[in-house]
């Protein structure tokens, strides 16, 4: 009689993709295969998953999974032992630091790393390496909204209220956000609301809107000023809220008086009547929200644009009010937690400023070092990558959880800078485009093989749980950091490999900071408590709703800050007569390193395309489905033409998930926002012409 099979392993965890962090139940094993189903009891996704969430387990057995370290020898990456690989990295890093100082070595992290990884990576960079040169790809996610939120409210949390609060909204303004494609489960919370969508494209989200405002790329700031003008001049501002809870309204009110709707229409292309209607819809609702996304933030003036939408929300009395608010739809899975605990060039754990002496003293005590041993602020993400291999820049780079060859603006330039390094080290679980350029590749665990925590867009700290043991030969990022730190003479216990131990230290490091996790424990999370930071003690319930009684500035008041419109960093010309804007599609995610390896997603969205109005296509000799070349001052891409009569005549859209000739970030402008360091991803001057070659096939899986 044969034995009955044992129970099928299962665990509750969260999707590896966007910042919703949808609750999922995984079941199965490597032999049976792993399946995912949504957790009905998790309120953010409430029993729903998008196409990416359902198919995420396929990546666990991808054919080109990295399971052995690789070291470049005579131009080729060849397998090596862990000891050989780590000794090679440590030896070369020691030599570079000895020759050129600690800032000769840089670290680049990712917004998908767990809180524990992000925390230990920042500690490793600043203590073991002694470098100031650390930043992460989350700089390109919501840094503009973060800078604006900190200035206005004294604190930055993507949504300062639970996602579920949106269910009762009457009107929601979505500025530069397309959750219908990027966060589909979020849309169930918006079903009862009238949507006002600001987007140059008629996206799936805009198709569901009661009102679609379609500005020219790079003019969202002018549109926000025009909306606030209507609120002010038509007497719709909430006077008692402004008096009791804010500073600076009169200066902002004076600054928008020149932005009457007809002038705003001339700049943005949005009809004056639609501007008035949108303002009146927001002001007339008892429960209204203003939400921004990458579309308004990924500009060289993205912080000012986010500030303008915050000004609008404050004038209407929304932030901190029951049934209303302002929020930012964070993008990456741990975009929130990833920037709170030390990956960002100017921040220490707990969202502390690295330039603040009290913050430095606190973190130094937790880390067991002297404050003066900690480096100061380093370069922001693009500035860091752009300096690699130059006489003034780092000579080595360690990359964890990022693929900048595809995701960085002016990506051809970044590939050149990576090639100029003396040493490039990449820790990943698949051979991404960046890993293929590396001198050393370190195979690490992925989402369903590891424990830890993440923080979703509403500031809720979540438990990631492992279903599977890692494949033989694979190590965790925490183990990699400990092994390298020991080779730099650090005590092993300063770099724990147990995520629980790391989180215990993270709690102490964050205590008293703006992002205070001191009261959050694995035990409380495993018991099912919904804990939003700040949570300063173990008997504190967490803070799902910020600003209910006061804002985070010392006087408890929010700040209006005047801003004014300026043109995009580059405008149209005879040589480049169209705007190109970039974004995501439903079936792919970020640089595509994960989703391009999943069969169902590739069948749904297999290649790059350029979305263009039929009249624009005809003027440029293009036909539907034919290959076109899109060219900017920085580079070009080839993509299939996709005709869309809802597109603006002056605008084309390209998704940024693809590689080789389909790489959209060949086009994008690295001009930076002076406040946030955000590049101008969303508007590039381009021309478009028939291509002489077929569109490139997607990157092969091996």
**Percent of the chain surpassing pLDDT 70:** 98
Torsion of CA 640, 646, 652, 657, to 10 degrees: -60
DSSP 468: S
Locate CATH 2.20.25.90 in the chain.
10-61
CATH 3.40.50.740 domain locations along the chain: 70-138+334-526
Give the dihedral sign, CA 396/676/296/578. Answer: negative
Strand order in the sheet with 10-14: 10-14, 23-29, 33-38
Considering the chain, what percentage of its residues have pLDDT values greater than 90? 96
CB of 500 closer than 8 Å to CB of 522: yes
Question: Under a CB-based contact definition with an 8 Å cutoff, are residues 314 and 152 in contact?
Answer: yes
Left, alpha or beta for 96 (phi > 0: left; psi -120 to 50: alpha)? alpha
Dump pLDDT digits (tens) for 210-250: 999 999 999 999 999 999 999 999 999 999 999 999 999 99
Burial class (CB in 10 A: 0-12, 13-18, 19+), 185: buried
Between CA 256 and CA 307 the distance in angstroms is: 13
Tokens of 330: 């964070």
Report the run of H or E that residue 12 belongs to, with start and end. Answer: strand 10-14
- Please report the pLDDT score of residue 7 as a whole number: 80
Per-residue model confidence (pLDDT) at position 330: 87
Q: What band does 331 get if pLDDT is binned at 50, 70 and 90? A: confident
Integer Cα distance of 260 and 53 in angstroms: 44
Question: What are the pLDDT digits (tens) for 13-27?
Answer: 999 999 999 999 999
Which parts of 119-258 are beta strand (E)?
134-136, 171-175, 194-198, 211-213, 246-247
CA–CA dist 18, 103 (Å, integer): 32
In this predicted model, what pLDDT tens digit does every residue of 642-677 receive, in sequence order? 999 999 999 999 999 999 999 999 999 999 999 999
DSSP 70-120: EEEETTEEEE--HHHHHHHHHHHHHHHHHHH-GGGEEEEE-TTS-HHHHHH
User: Which pLDDT does position 142 carry in this prediction?
Assistant: 86
Interaxial angle between packed helices 220-233 and 272-284, expressed in degrees from 0 to 180 and rounded to the nearest 10: 60
How far, in Å, CA of 535 to CA of 520, rounded?
6
Answer whether 396's CB lies under 8 Å from 423's CB. yes
The per-residue pLDDT for 692 is 82
pLDDT for 47 beyond 90: yes
Q: Sort 19 into a burial class: Cβ within 10 Å, 0-12 / 13-18 / 19+.
A: buried
pLDDT in tens, 77-130: 999 999 999 999 999 999 999 999 999 999 999 999 999 999 999 999 999 999
Q: What is the CA radius of gyration of the chain?
A: 24
Task: Name the fold adopted by 70-138+334-526.
Answer: Rossmann fold (3.40.50)
- Alpha carbon separation from 639 to 58, 95, 281, 290, 611 (Å, rounded): 27, 44, 39, 34, 9
Average pLDDT over residues 563-590: 96
Task: Look at residue 420 in the predicted model and tell me its pLDDT.
Answer: 98
Predicted local confidence at residue 17, as pLDDT: 97
Q: 568 and 217 in contact (C-beta within 8 Å)?
A: yes
For residues 519-550, one letter each, b for 16 or more C-beta atoms within 10 angstroms of the residue's C-beta and e for the rest, the string is bbbeebbeeeebbbbbbbeeeeebbbbbbeee
pLDDT at 4: 47
What are the helix and strand counts (H, E) for the chain? Answer: 23, 29
The segment(s) of the chain belonging to CATH 2.40.40.20 are 578-690
Q: How many Å apart are CA 343 and CA 216, to the nearest integer?
A: 34
Burial class of residue 469 in the structure, from the number of CB atoms within 10 Å of its CB (0-12 exposed, 13-18 middle, 19+ buried): exposed
Cα distance between residue 592 and residue 31, in whole Å? 26
What kind of architecture, by CATH, is found in domain 10-61? Single Sheet (2.20)
Strand partners, 108: 135, 399
Domain 578-690 in CATH 3.20.20.70? The answer is: no
Residues 614 and 608: their CA atoms lie apart, in Å, by 18
Residue 382 predicted with pLDDT over 70: yes
Q: Is the pLDDT of residue 333 over 70?
A: yes
Give the CATH number of domain 141-331; options: 3.40.228.10, 3.10.105.10, 3.10.20.600, 3.30.1330.90. Answer: 3.40.228.10
Whether pLDDT at 446 is above 80: yes
Q: Six-digit token pair at 659?
A: 């590689």
433: nearest Cα among 402, 478, 462: 402
Over residues 425-440, the mean pLDDT reads 98
Residue 35 bridge partners (DSSP): 27
Give the model's pLDDT for residue 6: 65
Question: Mean pLDDT across the stretch 195-210?
Answer: 98
Number of neighbours of residue 645 by Cβ within 10 angstroms: 8
Q: How many Å apart are CA 132 and CA 343, to the nearest integer? A: 11
Query: Do residues 120 and 476 lie in contact, with contact meaning Cβ atoms separated by under 8 Å?
Result: no
348 by Cβ neighbours in 10 Å (0-12 / 13-18 / 19+) ranks as buried
How long a stretch of residues is the chain?
A: 702
Residues carrying CATH 3.40.228.10, the chain:
141-331
Centre a 10 Å sphere on the Cβ of residue 437 and count the other Cβ atoms it contains: 18
517 touches 531 (CB < 8 A): no
The arithmetic mean of pLDDT across residues 67-76, rounded, is: 97
Asked if 245 and 320 count as a contact pair (C-beta separation under 8 A), the reply is: yes
Whose structure tokens read 């800032």? 103
Residue 698 has pLDDT above 50, yes or no: no
């Amino acid at each position: 009689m044969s034995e009955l099979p044992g129970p099928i392993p299962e665990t509750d965890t969260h999707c590896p993709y966007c910042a919703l962090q949808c609750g999922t139940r995984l079941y199965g094993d490597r032999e049976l295969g792993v399946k995912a189903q949504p957790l009905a009891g998790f309120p953010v996704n409430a029993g729903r998953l998008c196409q990416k969430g359902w198919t995420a387990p396929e990546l666990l057995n991808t054919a080109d999974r990295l399971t052995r370290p690789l070291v470049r020898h005579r131009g080729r990456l060849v397998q090596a032992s862990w000891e050989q690989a780590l000794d090679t990295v440590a030896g070369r890093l020691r030599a570079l630091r000895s020759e050129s100082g600690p800032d000769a070595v840089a670290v680049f992290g990712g917004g998908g790393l767990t809180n524990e990884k992000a925390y230990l990576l920042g500690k490793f960079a600043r203590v073991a390496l002694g470098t100031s040169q650390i930043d992460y790809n989350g700089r390109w996610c919501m840094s503009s909204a973060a800078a604006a939120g900190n200035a206005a409210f004294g604190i930055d949390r993507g949504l300062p209220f639970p996602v579920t609060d949106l269910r009762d909204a009457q009107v929601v303004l979505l500025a530069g956000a397309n959750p219908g494609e990027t966060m589909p489960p979020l849309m169930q919370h918006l079903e009862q609301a009238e949507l006002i969508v600001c987007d140059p494209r008629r996206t799936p989200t805009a198709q569901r809107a009661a009102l679609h405002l379609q500005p020219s790329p790079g003019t969202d700031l002018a549109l926000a000023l025009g909306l606030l003008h209507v609120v002010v001049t038509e007497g719709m501002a909430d006077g008692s809220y402004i008096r009791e809870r804010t500073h600076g309204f009169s200066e902002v009110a004076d600054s928008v008086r020149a932005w009457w709707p007809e002038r705003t229409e001339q700049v943005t292309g949005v009809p004056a009547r639609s501007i008035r209607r949108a303002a009146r819809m927001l002001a007339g609702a008892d429960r209204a929200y203003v939400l921004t996304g990458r579309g308004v933030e990924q500009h060289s003036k993205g912080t000012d644009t986010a500030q303008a939408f915050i000004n609008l929300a404050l004038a209407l009395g929304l932030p901190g009010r029951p049934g209303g608010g302002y929020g930012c739809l964070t993008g990456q899975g741990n975009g929130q937690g990833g920037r709170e605990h030390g990956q960002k060039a100017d921040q220490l754990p707990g969202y502390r400023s690295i330039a603040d002496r009290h913050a430095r003293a606190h973190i130094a005590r937790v880390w067991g070092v002297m404050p003066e041993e900690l480096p100061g602020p380093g370069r922001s993400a693009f500035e860091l990558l752009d300096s690699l291999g130059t006489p003034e820049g780092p000579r080595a780079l360690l990359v964890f959880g990022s693929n900048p060859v595809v995701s960085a603006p002016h990506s051809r330039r970044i590939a050149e800078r990576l090639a100029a390094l003396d040493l490039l080290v990449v820790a990943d679980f698949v051979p991404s485009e960046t890993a293929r350029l590396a001198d050393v590749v370190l195979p690490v665990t992925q989402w369903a093989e590891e424990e830890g925590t993440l923080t979703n867009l509403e500031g809720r700290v979540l438990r990631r749980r492992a279903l599977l043991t890692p494949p033989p030969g694979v190590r965790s990022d925490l183990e990699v950091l400990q092994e390298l730190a020991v080779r730099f003479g650090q005590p092993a216990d300063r770099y724990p490999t147990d995520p629980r131990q790391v989180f215990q230290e993270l709690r102490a490091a964050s205590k008293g900071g703006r992002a205070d996790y001191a009261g959050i424990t694995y035990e409380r999370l495993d018991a099912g408590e919904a804990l939003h930071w700040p949570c300063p003690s173990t008997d504190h319930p967490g803070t799902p709703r910020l600003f209910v009684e006061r804002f985070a500035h010392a006087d408890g008041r929010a700040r209006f800050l005047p801003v004014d419109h300026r043109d995009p960093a580059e405008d149209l010309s005879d040589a480049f007569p169209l705007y190109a804007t970039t974004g995501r599609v439903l079936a792919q995610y970020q640089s595509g390193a994960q989703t391009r390896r999943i069969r169902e997603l590739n069948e749904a969205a297999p290649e790059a395309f350029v979305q263009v109005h039929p009249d624009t296509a005809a003027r440029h000799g293009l036909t539907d489905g034919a290959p076109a070349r899109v060219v900017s001052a920085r580079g070009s891409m080839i993509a299939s033409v996709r005709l869309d009569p809802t597109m603006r005549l002056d605008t084309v859209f390209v998704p940024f998930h693809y590689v080789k000739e389909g790489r959209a970030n060949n086009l994008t402008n690295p001009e930076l926002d002076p406040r946030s360091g955000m590049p101008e991803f969303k508007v590039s001057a381009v021309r478009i012409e028939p291509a002489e070659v077929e569109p490139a096939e997607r990157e092969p899986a091996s």
